[in-house]
């Protein structure tokens, strides 16, 4: 049985993922602040959008304009809403201040995503970030609510990229049980090289239904694209 794949369009990476991310997977993109999680998630969605697969990017941390201009800096031009729809959750929250009840919000967001995906047939959905989701929605029982949210995301049929921030100094990849619930995990890490240099590395920790390379790869953004190369051991 062959599994349909969603390419990451990160040069050199798809071969090592046996073609890409299995379609319909929920994939966590984990890393400490500044490891280009947002940029990578957006880039995968942007590349797929320019190649004909519609994307939805749900931004909980950055406003739409801020995000678009940061991505523009990295060489990703603004696409029309038909191909890449950015949902600015902060803006929606500001519009609905009156009816704000934290718990219901989670439900409202789920319904909104569902509606959008059904209406527009998005191939990929990005959520940035899980940490913002926790702090904005003050989940009463995170484990349970997350379990339902992941179940809900899987049922959508879209491939989901979930940005997950690891606080500095923590070994734990995730806050609750997201790692068991996710089909795949990409881990981003700043790696100290010598006394002064830092290199950004990526590792596919887990990817269900996929024979993937397990080791760390150097991740670079240059000439308007992401690329990986194998780490040469010192």
Q: Provide the minimum distance between the beta carbon of 37 and ligand ADP in the complex, in angstroms, as a whole number.
A: 3
Compare residues 68 and 156 and give the one whose CB is closer to ligand ADP: 68
* Closer residue to Mg ion in complex, CB, 16/42: 42
- How far apart, in whole angstroms, are the C-alpha atoms of residue 110 and residue 115? 9
Decide if 124 contacts 44 (C-beta within 8 A): yes
Using the contact rule CB under 5 A, the part of the chain among 1-9, 34-42, 143-151, 201-209 near Mg ion is 34-42
Question: Site size for Mg ion, by CB under 5 A?
Answer: 1
Q: Give which of ligand ADP, Mg ion, none residue 33 binds (C-beta under 5 to 8 Å, depending on kind).
A: ligand ADP
Q: Which residue has the tokens 């830092």?
A: 198
Q: What does 36 bind: ligand ADP, Mg ion, none (CB cut-off 5 to 8 Å by kind)?
A: ligand ADP
- The interface partner of residue 8, options being Mg ion, ligand ADP, none and the CB cut-off 5 to 8 Å by kind, is none
Give whichever of 140 and 224 is closer to ligand ADP, judged by the CB atom. 224
> Does 175 interact with Mg ion (rule: CB under 5 A)?
no
Distance between CA atoms of 138 and 131, rounded to whole angstroms? 11
Ramachandran sector of residue 37 (left: φ over 0; alpha: ψ -120 to 50; beta: rest): alpha
The dihedral over CA atoms of 4, 9, 11, 16, expressed in degrees to the nearest 10, equals: -20
Q: Does 126 bind ligand ADP (CB under 6 A)?
A: no
Note whether 25 and 153 are within 8 A (CB): no
| CA 85/CA 28 separation, integer angstroms | 20
**Residue with Cβ nearer ligand ADP (156 or 160):** 160
CB 226 to ligand ADP: min, Å: 9
- Please tell me whether residue 35 binds Mg ion under the rule CB under 5 A: no
Task: Examine residue 31 and tell whether it contacts ligand ADP (CB under 6 A).
Answer: yes
- Is residue 38 within the footprint of Mg ion (CB under 5 A)? yes
Residues 71-90 that bind ligand ADP (CB under 6 A): 74
- Each residue of 169-189: b (16+ CB within 10 Å) or e? eeeebbbbebbebbbbbbbbb
SS3 46: helix
Does residue number 33 form part of the binding site for ligand ADP (CB under 6 A)?
yes
Angle at 93 between CA 89 and CA 97, to 5 degrees: 180
Q: Looking at 25, 38, 48, 164, which residue binds ligand ADP (CB under 6 A)?
A: 38
The CA distance from 38 to 56, in Å, is 14
Q: Choose the stretch contacting Mg ion; rule: CB under 5 A; options: 20-28, 35-43, 89-97, 182-190.
A: 35-43
């Amino acid at each position: 049985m062959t599994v349909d794949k969603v390419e990451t369009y990160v040069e050199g990476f798809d071969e090592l993922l046996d073609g890409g991310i299995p379609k319909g997977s929920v994939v966590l993109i984990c890393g400490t602040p500044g490891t280009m999680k947002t940029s990578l998630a957006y880039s995968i969605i942007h590349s797929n959008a320019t190649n004909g697969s519609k994307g939805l990017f749900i931004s909980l941390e950055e406003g739409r304009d801020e995000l678009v201009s940061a991505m523009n800096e990295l060489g990703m031009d603004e696409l029309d809403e038909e191909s890449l729809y950015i949902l600015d959750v902060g803006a929606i929250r500001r519009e609905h201040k009156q009816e704000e009840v934290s718990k219901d919000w989670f439900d409202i967001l789920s319904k909104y995503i569902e509606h959008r995906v059904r209406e527009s047939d998005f191939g990929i959905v990005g959520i940035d970030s899980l940490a913002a989701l926790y702090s904005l929605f003050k989940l009463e029982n995170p484990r349970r609510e997350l379990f339902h949210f992941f179940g809900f995301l899987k049922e959508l049929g879209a491939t989901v990229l979930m940005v997950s921030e690891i606080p500095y100094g923590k070994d734990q990849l995730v806050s609750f049980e997201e790692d068991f619930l996710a089909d795949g995990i990409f881990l981003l890490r700043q790696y100290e090289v010598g006394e002064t240099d830092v290199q950004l590395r990526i590792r596919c920790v887990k990817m269900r239904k996929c024979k993937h390379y397990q080791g760390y790869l150097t991740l670079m953004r240059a000439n308007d694209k992401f690329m990986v190369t194998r780490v040469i051991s010192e």
